[in-house]
Amino acid sequence: MASRIMMKRCRNCFRQALPASYAHLGPPGANSRPSLPIYHNRHQSFHHSSFHNANAPPSNTYEPKHPTNIKVNINDRVKIVSLGQGVVNVVLSRPNKLNSLCIPMFEAIAEAASRLRNDRELNKDLRVVIISGEGRAFCSGLDAKGVALSGPKSSLDKLLKRPSGYGGDDGLGNLAQDVCYLWRKLPVPVIAVLHGYCFGGGLQIALGADFRFATPDCKLSIMESRWGLIPDMSASIVLRELVRMDVAKELTMTGRIISGSEAESLGLVTRCVDDPMEEAMKVAREITARSPDSVAASKELFQSTWMVEDDATCLEKETTLQLKLIGTWNQAAAAGTQFGINLPYW
């Protein structure tokens, strides 16, 4: 009884304090904007093992279900599909080639990431990105024959020219790297849905996401050593955040194929589930119930400090980001949910 009375008092205090504390912000749609203007016009969206034999082929019984309401089709290789409520599905769409990476495929993936970052029509309500593969695989890696037929020298020039141009004024990577690295630059969470085969460049694309959900029998490999090469699509950044150095070396030097279950045990995969697309949507619903500003700041916080050894830099970053959040409309809306008050995010 006492706790209910206290909660009622807190709720009433919050209602009374809100207009005075946040009147300068105005309701969603007002002329004034919160202190993180890049996330304007957002709306609260959703209401509230054992290892498999790595050499055995995937069961091929699972394929992600993809809606047909395509917003953008890039080079007939990548589709950007709206799943509603601020969730967008980037679909690798070359199923007859197991979504392998030819030059047009590289370009389409990089363009998709770039447009989701910079195109205000595409990102004005963006909350979560889900990357998946159409057909029997997420991505089987480099289409060596396709790249060779495009002209080895010209293809190599396109892949390795730095910067690629897709990363904008602050771009760092070449085209091969940007199909993975640019997902880290989006101010929203990116989820990779893995099934079938996830080899070479396909695995590095998945590692560029914030979360990876895979079927237990998905096959994964850092396969470049089989071609006498190294993984050069931002693997030096993403692998060090996920696995020990000896694990990264072993997987890279051997090119060993592992199952989704083993990848989960090593830290390459966030979770193994029978239906990774369903799991991705479940997590998307949980994320979109939170403030878009705090979600974006959380991503920036960990990506900018995870490998930093200087404690002072990390602590300062926390305070800098927190000060940008305190007193904004979205922070008030998030706090309001704790007292039964539902305000829209914007």
Q: Tell me what pLDDT residue 32 has.
A: 37
* Contact predicate 131/92, CB 8 Å: yes
Q: What angle do CA 188, 110, 268 make, to 5 degrees?
A: 60
Alpha-carbon distances, residue 77 vs 33, 110, 213 (angstroms): 38, 11, 22
Backbone angles phi, psi at 199, to 5 degrees: -115, 150
The 3-state secondary structure of the chain reads CHHHHHHHHHHHHHHHHHHHHHCCCCCCCCCCCCCCHHHCCCCCCCCCCCCCCCCCCCCCCCCCCCCCCEEEEECCCEEEEEEECCEEEEEECCHHHCCCECHHHHHHHHHHHHHHHHCHHHHCCCCEEEEEECCCCCECCECHHHHHHCCHHHHHHHHHCCCCCCCHHHCCCCHHHHHHHHHHHCCCCEEEEECCEEECHHHHHHHCCCEEEECCCCEEECCHHHHCCCCCCCHHHHHHHCCCHHHHHHHHHHCCCEEHHHHHHHCCCCEECCCHHHHHHHHHHHHHCCCHHHHHHHHHHHHHHCCCCCHHHHHHHHHHHHHHHCCCHHHHHHHHHCCCCCCCCC
Which pLDDT score is estimated for 15?
52
Sheet of 87-92: strands edge to edge?
A: 70-74, 78-84, 87-92, 128-133, 190-194, 211-214, 271-272
Q: What is the pLDDT of residue 311?
A: 96
What is the pLDDT, as a whole number, of residue 56?
A: 63
Query: Helix 175-185 to helix 103-118 angle, to the nearest 10 degrees?
Result: 30
Question: Can you give the pTM of this predicted structure?
Answer: 0.84
Give yes or no for a contact between 201 and 178, defined as CB atoms under 8 angstroms apart: no
In whole angstroms, give the CA distance from residue 58 to residue 40: 43
**Nearest one of 164, 145, 160 to 101, comparing CA atoms:** 145
Q: How far apart are the first and last CA of the chain?
A: 36
Please say whether the beta carbons of 67 and 107 come within 8 A.
Answer: no
> Amino acid identity of 220?
L
What pLDDT, on the 0 to 100 scale, is given for residue 9?
Answer: 53
> Which pLDDT belongs to residue 70?
79
HSE value, Cβ hemisphere, 13 Å, CA-based, for 292: 29
Query: Can you read off the two tokens belonging to residue 70?
Result: 């395509």
Distances (CA, A) of 193 to 27, 305, 310, 320, 342: 36, 26, 34, 33, 31
- Averaged pLDDT in 10-residue chunks for the chain of 346 residues: 50 49 40 35 34 57 77 93 95 97 96 95 93 97 88 90 92 96 97 98 98 98 95 96 97 98 98 98 97 97 94 96 96 94 91
pLDDT value of residue 116: 96
